[in-house]
Amino acid sequence: MTRLVVGMSGASGAVYGIRMLEILKGMSDVETHLVMSPAARQTIALETSWKPRDVESLADVTYRHGDIAAAISSGSFPAHAMIILPCSVRTLGAVAWSQNDDLLTRAADVTLKERRKLVIALRETPLHLGHLRAMTQVTEMGAILAPLMPSFYGRPATVADLVDHTVGRLFDLLGITPPDELVSRWTGPTAG
């Protein structure tokens, strides 16, 4: 059983985290542990037709953002990996400088200190030097920085196609095999 911690911060792009949880819900070999920031709850309500409690129902286990004594706050909790999807610059900075004043950032810090895989799906543009330094810092600490940038080589027809492809690539980074229909794999140019 793969145990995955999913953190959702208040950055725009809540649809990415929701879509990942939807897909993971159907995977019996993956157990999801979700923590959402208060800003994530607000962004979900602003950007989607989902209610935060319905997003929580997609996870196997949910935690309160302020519960720093939760299981995922300890290195003794055996998790395969963690993803922050989407990740705000505020959360990125907190992770980069080990400011563990909430469960989301504490769980990320634990993931790093235990040398487990941490994928940070940053959603911010443009970037200033402080953002770039935080990005460098988390990368040097061992995180995988995967900014949410759509690709077009698969010729997406809808926003859902863009989201699915990005989420599928994030599955790859987590070491979890995504459903085949999610990712349009590049095989080189086709003869025409």
pLDDT digits (tens, 9 = 90+) for 167-180: 999 999 999 998 88
Phi-psi region of 143 (alpha: psi -120 to 50; beta: other; left: phi over 0): beta
Please report whether residue 186 resides in a domain: no
Please give the tally of structural domains in the chain. Answer: 1
Q: Among all chains, which residue has been given the structure tokens 């208040």? A: 10
Taking the C-alpha atoms of residue 175 and residue 86, their distance in angstroms, rounded to an integer, is 18
Q: Is residue 50 part of a domain?
A: yes
Q: Is residue 118 part of a domain?
A: yes
| pLDDT tens, position by position, 80-95 | 999 999 999 999 999 9
Residue type, 163: V
Residue 188 resides in a domain: no
| 73 annotated ligand binder | no
74 labeled part of a ligand binding site: no
Tell me if 37 is assigned to a ligand binding site: yes
Contact 163, 86 (CB under 8 A): no
Tell me the residue ranges of DSSP E strands in the chain. 2-8, 30-36, 61-63, 81-87, 117-122, 144-145
10 is in an annotated binding site: yes
- 192 within some domain: no
Q: Per the domain annotation, does 91 fall within a domain?
A: yes
The predicted model gives 121-143 an average pLDDT of: 97
Q: Is 94 annotated as a binding residue?
A: no
**pLDDT tens sequence across 12-21:** 999 999 999 9
Q: pLDDT value at position 188?
A: 87
Say if residue 16 carries a ligand binding annotation: no
Q: How far apart are CA 121 and CA 12, in angstroms?
A: 11
Range of the domain at 61: 2-174
The answer to whether the pTM exceeds 0.85 is yes
CATH number at residue 46: 3.40.50.1950
CB 114 within 8 A of CB 106: no
163 in a domain, yes or no?
yes
- Give the tens place of pLDDT for each residue, 57-74: 999 999 999 999 999 999
Q: Is 7 annotated as a binding residue?
A: no
The answer on whether 123 is annotated among ligand-binding residues is yes
CA distances from 153 to 156, 165, 166, 187, 188 (A): 8, 10, 12, 10, 10
Q: Does any domain span residue 185?
A: no
Q: How far apart are CA 138 and CA 171, in angstroms?
A: 20
pLDDT confidence of residue 189 = 86
Tell me: is residue 63 an annotated ligand-binding position.
no
Residue 154 banded pLDDT, cuts 50, 70, 90: confident
Q: Would you say 169 is a known binding-site residue?
A: yes
